């Protein structure tokens, strides 16, 4: 178990860089397994293939080396019991359907959670060659197919909403009427379809403004994005107006509906436009 006095917790940017390294190495495994099509269905009906499992193994090996002692809650090995106050949330392949369909917006997502909130995160999208990570601040960096990082990480931040209105990102494979209704109420142009936690990275980089998700998601789907977007000046709120909390094993690590936005004002506009809650 990791205690609150662990000195690694006091260097949140350092945590983010270690998560970024682990995510990049795991992402390289996904690229190497790009041809995988050996799909089975988990008990919840979601697909899993050998690429998920290989990336999960690679990420856990890297995390054991880079951040020894941190308990890991992974999509592939989620425990029934509460993980403790400080732990890692890992999604080794967020966007499995995107991956299997040959798309580019799939990723590895990793976050460190302390007392229910993510304090550092990393999202590596290997087909896009982009890596977002955060601790106190948010950064973006390019990386290659072998997971090696290029150049220096650059600070990143959300943008002001364009004069013509916010640009929304919508789920490519998991759309739902309630999310679409909220997005439409924002007077957005037609949403841009993107899979996985990459949506959080794009908002954090000032390339879009809002994403609403009312369908089922899990904590490992959004914790890294929450950390990165918050450090970039944005916010994630549930549609009840609260910050999401993590480590909720009593709800099987499921998230309530949420909005990710470039500002709290924009997020609360979306919440006010929710007619289906």
- Write the DSSP assignment of 106-121 as a string of letters: -EEEEEEEETTEEEEE
The domain made up of 169-272 has a fold known as D-Maltodextrin-Binding Protein; domain 2 (3.40.190)
Task: Compute the mean pLDDT over every residue in the chain, rounded to the nearest whole number.
Answer: 91
Distances (CA, A) of 181 to 152, 255, 270: 40, 20, 10
Residues 242 and 276: their CA atoms lie apart, in Å, by 17
pLDDT at 90 (0 to 100): 97
Which whole-number Å values give the CA distances from 101 to 39, 148, 195, in the listed order? 12, 25, 11
Give the residue among 43, 39, 63 at the shortest CA–CA distance from 51.
Answer: 39
The predicted pLDDT at position 147 comes to 77
Is pLDDT at 222 greater than 90 in this prediction? yes
Residue, of 51 and 118, whose pLDDT is higher: 118
Average pLDDT over residues 260-271: 96
Q: What percent of the chain has pLDDT over 70?
A: 93
User: Does 25 or 177 have the greater pLDDT score?
Assistant: 25
* CATH number, domain 7-155: 3.30.540.10
Which residues neighbour 65 within 8 Å (Cβ) at sequence distance 6 or greater?
A: none
Residue 36 has pLDDT above 90, yes or no: no
Euclidean distance between CA atoms 107 and 87, whole angstroms: 20
* Helix, strand, coil tally for the chain in percent (to 5): 35, 25, 40
Q: Look at residue 5 and give its three-state secondary structure.
A: coil
Of 258, 208, 252, the closest CA to residue 105 belongs to 208
pLDDT at 142 (0 to 100):
93
Beta-carbon neighbour count of residue 46 at 10 Å?
Answer: 13
Q: Which helix (H) or strand (E) holds 197?
A: none
Q: For the chain, state the CA radius of gyration.
A: 17
Q: What percent of the chain has pLDDT over 90?
A: 71
**Six-digit token string for 132:** 């977002």
Q: CA angle 168-183-270, nearest 5°?
A: 100
Question: One fold for both 7-155 and 169-272?
Answer: no
> Whole-prediction pTM value?
0.94
Kindly tell me if the per-residue pLDDT of 132 is higher than 60: yes
State the pLDDT confidence band at 16, using cuts at 50, 70 and 90.
Answer: very high
Lowest mean pLDDT among 17-31, 179-193, 245-259: 179-193
pLDDT at 148: 79
- Indicate if the pLDDT at residue 177 is higher than 90: no
Which pLDDT value is given to residue 33? 86
Mean pLDDT, residues 190-218 = 94
Q: Is 189 left (phi over 0), alpha (psi -120 to 50) or beta?
A: beta
- By mean pLDDT, which of 51-55, 236-240, 255-259 is the weakest? 51-55
Q: Is the pLDDT of residue 43 over 70?
A: no
pLDDT score for 277: 54
pLDDT at 169 over 70: yes
For residue 275, pLDDT over 70 is answered with no
Please report, for the chain, the start and end positions of each structural domain, with discontinuous segments joined by +: 7-155, 169-272
Question: In whole angstroms, what is the distance from residue 177 CA to residue 228 CA?
Answer: 27
For residue 40, the model assigns a pLDDT of: 76
Task: Give me the mean pLDDT over the 269-276 stretch.
Answer: 80
Distance CA 32, CA 34 (A): 6
């Amino acid at each position: 178990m990791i205690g609150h006095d662990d000195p690694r917790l006091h260097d949140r940017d350092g945590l983010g860089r270690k998560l970024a390294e682990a995510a990049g190495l795991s992402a390289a495994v996904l690229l190497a397994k790009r041809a995988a099509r050996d799909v089975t269905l988990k008990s919840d009906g979601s697909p899993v293939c050998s690429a998920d499992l290989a990336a999960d193994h690679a990420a856990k090996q890297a995390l054991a080396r880079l951040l020894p002692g941190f308990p890991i809650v992974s999509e592939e090995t989620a425990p029934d019991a509460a993980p403790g106050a400080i732990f890692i949330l890992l999604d080794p392949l967020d966007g499995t359907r995107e991956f299997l369909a040959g798309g580019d917006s799939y990723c590895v997502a990793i976050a460190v959670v302390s007392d229910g909130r993510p304090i550092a995160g990393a999202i590596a999208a290997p087909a896009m060659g982009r890596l977002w990570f955060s601790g106190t601040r948010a950064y973006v960096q390019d990386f290659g197919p072998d997971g090696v990082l290029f150049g220096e990480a650059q600070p990143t931040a959300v943008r002001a909403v364009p004069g013509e209105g916010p640009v929304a990102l919508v789920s490519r494979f998991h759309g739902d009427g309630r999310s679409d209704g909220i997005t439409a109420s924002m007077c957005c142009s037609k949403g841009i379809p993107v899979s996985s936690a990459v949506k959080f990275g794009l908002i954090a980089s000032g390339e879009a403004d809002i994403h609403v998700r009312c369908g089922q998601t899990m904590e490992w789907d959004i914790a890294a994005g929450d950390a990165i977007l918050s450090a970039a000046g944005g916010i994630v709120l549930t549609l009840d107006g609260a910050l999401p909390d993590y480590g909720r094993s009593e709800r099987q690590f499921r998230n309530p509906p949420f909005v990710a936005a470039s500002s709290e004002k924009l997020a609360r506009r979306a919440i006010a436009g929710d007619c289906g809650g």
